[in-house]
């Protein structure tokens, strides 16, 4: 099998191209793709903490800390002390999100439409179902690898 025939490589390339697309789409607003994705996750999920964002997005802790810090500095989110645990913080979108929300959602719709417009509804359903299966398996394998590494079964 040639390297360009591997499913993982193709999916990785799609992700890279999305990041490039999203970066350039958000650049006029002073945002990056990573920041846009975090805002997207927070939309409708106010009150989550950084650990929950890390779990959802699979970002490195240091990357997430930088992204959250930058979004706080830009005024898109605020950190509030968790009333149940004064040592923990919850993240909330500010009204500034109202300005950028249509841009983010329009970029996502445009991206999806441009990639999927040549597929039939049946092909799209099959593709989504297949990707969901692959994603679940990928989550399982990455969790397994992490646990093996942390338990010393794999060398670094």
Q: What is the pLDDT of residues 16-36, one digit of tens each?
A: 999 999 999 999 999 999 999
Average pLDDT of the residues of the chain: 91
Name the token pair of 8. Answer: 């993982």
Separation of alpha carbons 36 and 25, rounded Å = 10
Assign domain 3-98 one CATH number from 1.20.1260.10, 3.30.70.2740, 1.10.10.10, 3.90.220.20.
1.10.10.10
CB atoms within 10 A of CB 17: 12
| Mean pLDDT computed over 125-140 | 93
| Burial class, 123, CB count within 10 angstroms (exposed 0-12 / middle 13-18 / buried 19+) | exposed
Assess contact for 34 and 22: CB atoms under 8 A.
no
Element (H, E) at 23: helix 7-26
Residues 49-63: pLDDT tens digits?
999 999 899 899 999
Q: What percent of the chain has pLDDT over 90?
A: 73
């Amino acid at each position: 099998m040639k390297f360009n025939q591997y499913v993982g490589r193709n999916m990785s390339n799609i992700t890279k191209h999305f990041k490039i697309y999203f970066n350039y789409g958000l650049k006029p607003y002073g945002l990056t793709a990573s920041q846009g994705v975090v805002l997207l996750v927070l939309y409708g999920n106010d009150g989550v903490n950084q650990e929950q964002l890390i779990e959802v997005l699979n970002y490195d802790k240091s990357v997430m800390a930088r992204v959250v810090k930058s979004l706080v500095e830009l005024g898109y989110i605020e950190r509030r002390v968790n009333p149940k645990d004064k040592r923990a913080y919850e993240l909330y979108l500010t009204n500034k999100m109202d300005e950028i929300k249509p841009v983010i959602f329009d970029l996502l719709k445009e991206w999806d439409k441009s990639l999927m417009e040549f597929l039939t509804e049946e092909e799209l359903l099959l593709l989504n179902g297949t990707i969901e299966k692959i994603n679940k398996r990928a989550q399982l394998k990455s969790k397994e690898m992490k646990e093996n590494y942390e338990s010393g079964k794999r060398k670094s």
